[in-house]
Amino acid sequence: MTEATVAGLGVPAAPDQWRRTSLYAGLLFFATFVTSIAGLLLYDPILNETDFVLGGGLDARISLGALFEVFLVITNIGTAIVLFPILKRQSEALSLGYVASRIVESTIIAVGLISLMAIVTLRNEAGGADPASLTLVGQSLVALHDWTFLLGPGFCVGLGNGLILGWLMYRSGLMSPKLAMFGLIGGPLIFLSSIAILFGAYEQTDGIAFLFSIPEIIWELSLAIVLTFKGFRSESPLLA
């Protein structure tokens, strides 16, 4: 056994416990990738067809997309909760900040999810309403979803998953400093890009927005791969 303790309770923590922690965190990061991409792809009709609300019946594709986003909310928060016991050994305040940012991000994602499911309700139950009015309401709800995408996966990810988690991993040595730098660079970049979008410099779907997000994507993918298949760096003083 090591001198490390579990969650500060004075209980000795075996090395394999930290390996399990990294494994669970890595799998949860993989799950955030799968659920976010799947949800976005399944939402394509409701996001891009202006007359979607004028259709009839329940669209199972949209419901499945909503289910994936429910799992996204769960796995987002899960990454922070699983990592908290070890990250707080570096900085409890910043670790709590990371948990808080993930909760806020997930709450905003849930608001966007609700706005799209409201369109599904209109599609099913407002068949006799004026088509122009229905279309306007549907477009307004899609716009609400688009803003939540900017505030959640934009601002919150840049601050929490990028800057805060990147700094914690860098200072603690739990991951390679070179990899952690992608978080320290990618977080501020995606945050600044979100500010530019907020003030109308370019659209969320523009290529420049994607370019700014590349370091953050590399960072999150590195977290998933390294934590799942390799684990924390044994040189980290947090594991001593």
* Per-residue pLDDT of the chain in tens (240 residues, 90 and over written 9): 344 444 444 444 557 889 999 999 999 999 999 999 999 999 999 999 888 888 876 688 999 999 999 999 999 999 999 999 999 999 999 999 999 999 999 999 999 999 999 999 888 876 667 888 888 999 999 999 999 999 998 999 999 999 999 999 999 999 999 999 999 999 999 999 999 999 999 998 899 999 999 999 999 999 999 999 999 999 999 987
Inside any domain, residue 5: no
Inside any domain, residue 1: no
Hey, what long-range contacts does 48-56 have (CB within 8 A, 24 or more apart)? 50/135, 50/138, 50/139, 51/135, 52/119, 52/123, 52/138, 53/119, 53/122, 53/123, 53/134, 53/135, 53/137, 53/138, 54/123, 54/131, 54/134, 54/135, 55/123, 56/123, 56/124, 56/127
Q: What pLDDT does 127 receive? A: 64
Closest CA to 121 of 138, 103, 96, 139: 138
Q: What pLDDT does 128 receive? A: 67
Q: What pLDDT does 82 receive? A: 97
Per the structure, the count of domains in the chain is 1
Q: What pLDDT does 6 receive? A: 40
Inside any domain, residue 143: yes
Inside any domain, residue 8: no
Answer yes or no: are the C-beta atoms of 163 and 98 closer than 8 Å.
Answer: no
Q: What pLDDT does 9 receive? A: 42
Q: What pLDDT does 181 receive? A: 97
Inside any domain, residue 231: yes
Residues spanned by the domain of 219 = 15-239
Q: What pLDDT does 133 receive? A: 87
